Structure 1
Amino acid sequence: MRLAVDARGLRREYRVRRGPAVTALDDVSIQVEQGEVHGLLGPNGAGKSTLMKILSTVLLPTSGSASVLGHDLVTEYRRIRPLLGIVFGGERGLYPRLTARQNMRYWAALYGMSTKKGLARTDTLLDELGLAERADDRVETFSVGMRQRLHLARGIVGDPRVLLLDEPTNGLDPLAARQLRELIQRLAGEGRTILLATHDLAEAEVLCDRVTMINHGRVIATEAPKTLSRLMSRQERVRVRADTGLLDRVRALDGVLGVEPADDGTAVVSVESQQALGAVLAFVVAEGVTDVRTELPDLEEVYLRLVHRNEQRSVVNR
């Protein structure tokens, strides 16, 4: 396994004038394979942005170590920076009174590109990201979605091997968010390593090969989204379409924990074991039910369960 990012035991504290230090990251370890789209998932304030700032070499950890493509984050940061593309959400990184083309040429120059190469790279990226027709308009006239696409173009102008995306779809309308996700998928298809910080569970499930869930500055799980669902499936579920009388009989079966009607006319039957699941399936099939399927919890359910479990442990350990 070749690692693009290898962080071990990262800790970041912020000193305040009064009171104890605030811990933003607490013993965080994360490994991102080369060519992987890796999600960093957590609510606002979980520590995602702090970790991204450390990995982008703009913030030093209080303790711990990290490397990007084999280069030490602290001692070899000058070798790391040309390999990185960084996209933070909001207004940071763009000059609103400059045009899109001027912004891109400025960042190309910072990467050490010649004028000719910078112009060519700028034209190519603005065209690929659907901004060619607005290339000579000031960024202050752009919509939020257009600015985010320009952010992404700026982030890859240096052809980075590792792309750090911090909440790239934050504040976008659904259509603009979907378009940006498609662009991210295309970049991943080019073989780039992408670390995506987000609090959007659906986004992580669609884009990521693996996700690291973080809460209160600590890692609580790292797995593929589907694997996390399986790991957290303490109780099995089956969805059936049946009449009320049959559902009442299902509710009375041994091992059935509950039967919850859904808006689409089906009902979700929760059971305590594989044995109970088999009994429910055999019963409903014998009764002539043909619309029946087993389910795994989605990533949102998994995340909420893991956060709840982590918070319970934190209370116990205090």
Structure 2
Amino acid sequence: MLAIDAHKLRRTYRSRTGWLRPRTTETEAVRGVTFQVRRGELFGLLGPNGAGKTTTIKMLNTLLLPTGGAARVLGHDVATDPVAVRRRIGYVFGGDRGLYERLSALDNLRYFAELYGVEPREQKRRITELLDLTGLTGRERERVEGYSRGMRQRLHIARGLLHRPEVLFLDEPSIGVDPVAARELRRTVADLRAGGTTVLLTTHYMAEADELCDRIAVIAGGEIRALDTPERLKARVQERAVTEIEAYGAAEEHLAGIRALPGVRGVAVEDRGHVQVLTVQAERDADLHGPVLGALDGVRLGRITSREPTLEDAYVAIVEGAAAHDAPLPRTGPETPLPEVAA
């Protein structure tokens, strides 16, 4: 039995604007998403803001009804049998919501154990296990308001695991967490997968997805644009050369000039404080060093480095390709057998 089976899942939002002449507008947040997750698998769902990740997760965990299509979690339909689904899943989202700050971590877990229907005779042992799993043993009697962001996220995970869910949804658990805390969270998530829990993870951190996920689906514009293992996704851009350029004040016209150069396959920009980092993907045999610098004429530049493509480069190529063509790129998921997952 599959842990998650989504078939042509759709979600449309309707809104009314205006008063004298009201108009109804429709926005398709998810447009026919299809994928499967095997039991014991750690599956990543990646995409830019507004791509439909959280909407998809909310349909799978019964917080939203699908407009069309169908989805089953552990064999139970999310629309017609939501109670059975909820008994078998956990949901952890990023941010500070969902905890009582004036209570200790221990009291939070006791409260949610009652809420989730954990047997009283099992609560103490289960809470002790989860405090140890998430590295909060020794800090459990402190108020949550004094916790760091990373400690709160680990407490969120403990809360989501109280009732021993078979499937755990992690919606950007590392958001706003410092690198040390993020590493601890990744270790916790890896331990969950090793213990047999099926995990569906959304994240904006490509290194996190590359390290943890058995397979990854890239969603953009409400559609799945690619689905495969991290290694196969990276193989899509192995024939490309990647150049990173530190720039100060590059405008959109400079980026447009680079994108127009023959042999350029993608340009991304990231603001890191006062410096911009331009990532240029190009064909390996294209000599674009001079033309790229020419397109940045008048822009103050810093360090220029070349490197091998990463999962982030593959992700950027997939998302930019989807935006350019406004159509799904070829999927490898259906043709690729689901990987074997250790029990």
Settle same-fold status: TM greater than 0.5.
yes
Of 147, 161, 174, the residue aligned with 1:156 is 161
**Residue 300 (str. 1) matches residue 312 (str. 2):** yes
**Residue 270 (str. 1) matches residue 281 (str. 2):** no
Q: Compute the displacement of 1:176 (Å).
A: 0.3
- 1:134 is paired with a residue whose SS is coil
Deviations 1:235-290 (A, max 9, x none): 3669xxxxxxxxxxxxxxxxxx79xxxxxxxxx99238xxxxxxxxxxxxxxxxxx
Amino acid at match of 1:105: R
User: Where do residues 43-192 of structure 1 align in structure 2 (5 Å cutoff)?
Assistant: 43-192=48-197
- Give the corresponding residue for 2:304: none
**Higher mean displacement: 101-110 or 189-198:** 101-110
TM-score, length basis structure 1: 0.78
Distance 1:35 1:114 in 2: 25
TM-score, length basis structure 2: 0.73
- 2:138 is paired with a residue whose SS is helix
Of 27, 30, 36, the residue aligned with 2:32 is 27
Deviations 1:161-192 (A, max 9, x none): 11100001100000000110011001100111
Distance 1:269 1:13 in 2: 39
4+ long deviations beyond 6 Å: none
**Higher mean displacement: 142-151 or 10-19:** 10-19
Distance 2:7 2:133 in 1: 37
Is residue 8–residue 27 contact of structure 1 (8 Å, CA) maintained in 2?
yes
Structure with the larger helix share: 1
Is residue 230–residue 296 contact of structure 1 (8 Å, CA) maintained in 2?
no
**Higher mean displacement: 95-104 or 109-118:** 109-118
Indicate the structure (1 or 2) with the bigger Cα radius of gyration. 1
Distance 1:269 1:300 in 2: 17
Amino acid at match of 1:5: I
Distance 1:102 1:310 in 2: 47
Distance 1:188 1:237 in 2: 34
Distance 2:81 2:194 in 1: 28
Amino acid at match of 1:144: R
Distance 1:301 1:113 in 2: 44
Distance 2:230 2:148 in 1: 32
Q: Give the paired residue count.
A: 265
Is residue 229–residue 296 contact of structure 1 (8 Å, CA) maintained in 2?
no
**Higher mean displacement: 45-54 or 114-123:** 114-123
**Residue 8 (str. 1) matches residue 1 (str. 2):** no
Q: State the identity as a percent.
A: 47
Q: Compute the displacement of 1:110 (Å).
A: 2.1
Deviations 1:186-218 (A, max 9, x none): 110011110001111111111001000011211
